[in-house]
Amino acid sequence: MAGIQISGLLSNSAFDWKTIVSELIAADSVPITNLKAEQTTNSSQVTALGSLQADLTSLQTSLENLRSGDLFAARTVSSSNSNSTWQSTSANGATLGAYTFAVQHLATQAQTQGATGVGSGLNATGTVTGLTIANLNVATPITAGTFTVNGQQVTVATTDSLQDVFNKIAAGTGGDVTGAYSPGGSVPVSDGITLTSGGGHEVLLGANNDTSNFLSVMKLANNGTPSTSSSAPLGTVELSAPIASAHLSTALTGLDLSGNGSVTINGVTINYNANTDTVSTLLSRINQSGAGVSITYDSANNRFNAINNNTGDVGMGLADTTGTLLASMGLTAASGGTFSHGQNAQFTVNNGPPLSSASNTLDSAVTGISGFSVTVNSQTTETLQIQSNTSSMQSAIQDMISKFNTVQTDIQNDTQITSSGGQVTTSVLSSNQEVASWASDLKNMAFDAVTGVTGSIQNLDNLGIGFTGTSGQLSVIDSTKLADALANNPQDVQNFFLTGNTGFVGRMYGGLIKQLGENTNEQGNLTKANTDIGTHITTLQNHLNDEQTQLTNAFISMLDAQSKAQSEGTTLTNAFFQNSSSSSSSSSCWIARAVYGARNPRWLVFRFWLLQLAPAWFRGLYLRHGERFASWLDDKPRVRHLIRRWMDARIDRLLHT
């Protein structure tokens, strides 16, 4: 462009060659503009198809949900007692109906109650000066603090001996109340303490501000007399000690030299070592053995109890195999253990004959109600209603309706053509008849009767579902009909929706697969078309860029030639560079103006060729007869076309030189 500024053009600035180049390029850019508009249209259609694809996929997923989780076979159970503590369960497909359960007896567990006093006493004699409070073999450790006797506080420390405590009681009451320990088998109490008033006064124990638990651990309480004794033996079994030293009142015999022994419970053998296994370890081993029996220690009554893990009137086998451990625990019949039978649950259903169950969980094996069980915990009467889970079914069906309507709405919005006031308005996919057909196809698939299905439900109308007016929108027209079908005919509803490929879901799902495939193909075709258009645009743009460069270079060459020609003829130069609207510039090129039109800048390029490069004989002939020849061409378009082709050849040769 710098060369143009120094060429002598400045004195003839009326000639705007840049505008001529721009107009030529703009005219040749029309195909690119059209192609870009086509790309934009294609992209909009791809976006719309993508949105429809998402809608169709959502509907497909909703249909899948109708297939999942035994939706139509799910059951719920309700009780006539709103405060019921019974626990009911119903399997999918459980028999529908109302069942009145009257429970006369609950099932209980068989148990063996061991003999009391299996733990040895606190001491073998009444002398207790060596028995430290902290080490007493009692059920609960004694805490330090104060307790009250006849209104006098007695302070006890865990380092005190039992005799020290007796002495403090006597001192606190001025010698009136004395304490004594009686070993096992003694009178007035076996393995217990007696507090006696020497003056014959009532022994009054305790106060609200006592801080030691001595009185309660010793099982002492007020009785309104001058003497009170422990209400039960004080000695217990020490569970954390090895069996051999756990203070069992009856020593174990029959063990081997290492202290090994074994017991058999319900045919299961449990081994132990009396020297290394603690009582707690032994009890855990028994309870986890699979024998079906749990043994616990009752420290309040100083006895062991064995109970079956399961309820029902079944037996319990307890026997020493090696050694006498169970006998020492008081659990054998010979050692004082007492067996009590368990009891089966007794009940009726709908006032039928008496039924019995070893368990309080009354299942189909004893009730005959398929897929149903109830665990009872009270002797009462309740009516249990087994119903279809209609809320889950309704929710899934309503979701399908909603997704179906979304598809229909979007197809209508994307394909509709409207007219108002003579103005026709189209939508992004109005020209796509295949997409428009999807809506009617879905409507037909939704409402046609299914084939191969037996039962009362043959189409959506049987469920109270229909189309709103003439639209393609589904809705629940009769909610009562739908609720009744779901509650009372869930199997028929399931058959309608889920019978193979011919049921509602299978048929709709297959149709959606087809439509999704067509959608994918449509998007693929449009995307490929846009890619091809982009390639074509690139090619055309490259050609335009080359053309613009060539035009620019040609005009620069023309300007340079004009500068050189100034010395040869001012007249020709002025003729070329005057404004195109002047009579002298237009009069020298009548034929070119007639052929191209006054608004097409190509006639100016031809004029340059005429004045600068045309043979002299042609230029003279053209200038002498051009005006009359142009008038003659006015009504001869075919001749003008031929002349234009000849002029185009000269112009193109000039511009590409």
Burial per residue of 258-283, b for 16 or more beta-carbon CB atoms within 10 angstroms, e otherwise: ebbbebbbbeeebebbbeebbbebbb
- CA-CA distance, 121 to 218, in Å (whole number)? 12
pLDDT at 599: 80
Whether residue 607 has pLDDT greater than 90: no
Percentage of the residues of the chain whose pLDDT score is greater than 90:
61
- Whole-angstrom CA distances from 51 to 399, 407, 410 are 19, 9, 8
Give the H or E element holding residue 469. none
pLDDT at 558: 65
pLDDT at 360: 96
Partner residues linked to 466 by β-bridges:
475
Q: Is 229 exposed, middle or buried (0-12, 13-18, 19+ CB in 10 A)?
A: buried
Lowest mean pLDDT among 93-102, 258-267, 446-455: 446-455
Q: Do the strands 260-265 and 338-340 form a parallel or antiparallel pair, or are they unpaired? A: unpaired
- pTM > 0.75: no
Lowest mean pLDDT among 438-442, 542-546, 553-557: 553-557
Average confidence (pLDDT) over 105-129: 93
Ordered DSSP codes for 168-190 = HHHHHTTTSEEEEEE-TT-SS-S
* 495 and 453 Cβ atoms separated by less than 8 Å: yes
pLDDT at 569: 39
Band of pLDDT at residue 544, cut at 50, 70 and 90: confident
Band of pLDDT at residue 15, cut at 50, 70 and 90: low
* 450 and 496 Cβ atoms separated by less than 8 Å: yes
Lowest mean pLDDT among 266-270, 466-470, 513-517, 624-628: 466-470
Whether residue 530 has pLDDT greater than 80: yes
Percentage of the residues of the chain whose pLDDT score is greater than 70:
92
**How many whole angstroms from its chain centre is CA 32?**
51
In terms of DSSP H, where are the helices of 292-346? Answer: 325-328
pLDDT at 561: 59
pLDDT at 5: 33
Q: Is 230 exposed, middle or buried (0-12, 13-18, 19+ CB in 10 A)?
A: buried
Whether residue 292 has pLDDT greater than 90: yes
Band of pLDDT at residue 106, cut at 50, 70 and 90: very high
Instruction: Select from 518, 457, 515, 451 the least CA-distant residue to 488.
Output: 457
pLDDT at 187: 65
Whether residue 290 has pLDDT greater than 80: yes
Q: Is 480 helix (H, G, I), strand (E, B) or coil?
A: helix
Band of pLDDT at residue 654, cut at 50, 70 and 90: confident
- CA-CA distance, 162 to 142, in Å (whole number)? 11
Give the H or E element holding residue 249. none
Q: Is 270 helix (H, G, I), strand (E, B) or coil?
A: strand
CA dihedral 541, 546, 547, 549 (to 10 degrees): 130
How crowded is residue 463: how many other Cβ atoms within 10 Å of its Cβ?
Answer: 25
Q: Pull the structure tokens for residue 536.
A: 């074509």
* 417 and 427 Cβ atoms separated by less than 8 Å: yes
Band of pLDDT at residue 559, cut at 50, 70 and 90: low
* 93 and 70 Cβ atoms separated by less than 8 Å: yes
pLDDT at 11: 38
The pLDDT mean for the chain works out to: 88
Q: Pull the structure tokens for residue 563.
A: 């500068």
Signed CA dihedral, 300, 303, 309, 312: sign only:
negative
Average confidence (pLDDT) over 636-657: 83
- Whole-angstrom CA distances from 372 to 87, 197, 343, 362, 453 are 11, 67, 23, 8, 28
Band of pLDDT at residue 588, cut at 50, 70 and 90: low
- CA-CA distance, 591 to 597, in Å (whole number)? 10
205 Cβ contact partners less than 8 Å away, ≥ 6 residues apart? 147, 148, 149, 195, 215, 220, 221, 222, 228
Q: Find where tokens 């020490």 sit.
A: 238
- Whole-angstrom CA distances from 246 to 77, 134, 277 are 52, 16, 10
Q: Is 319 helix (H, G, I), strand (E, B) or coil?
A: strand
For residue 450, what is the DSSP state? P
pLDDT at 583: 40
Q: Is 123 helix (H, G, I), strand (E, B) or coil?
A: coil
pLDDT digits (tens, 9 = 90+) for 330-365: 999 999 999 999 999 999 999 999 999 999 999 999
Q: Is 323 helix (H, G, I), strand (E, B) or coil?
A: coil
Average confidence (pLDDT) over 413-435: 89
* 371 and 125 Cβ atoms separated by less than 8 Å: no
Whether residue 582 has pLDDT greater than 60: no
The answer to whether the bond into 601 is cis (omega within 30° of 0) is no
* 610 and 564 Cβ atoms separated by less than 8 Å: no
Instruction: Select from 250, 279, 307 the least CA-distant residue to 117.
Output: 250
pLDDT digits (tens, 9 = 90+) for 118-167: 999 999 899 999 999 999 989 899 999 999 999 999 999 999 999 999 99
Q: Find where tokens 């060729």 sit.
A: 609
pLDDT at 535: 95
Q: Pull the structure tokens for residue 97.
A: 């109906």
More confident call, 17 vs 612: 612
Give the H or E element holding residue 534. helix 504-565
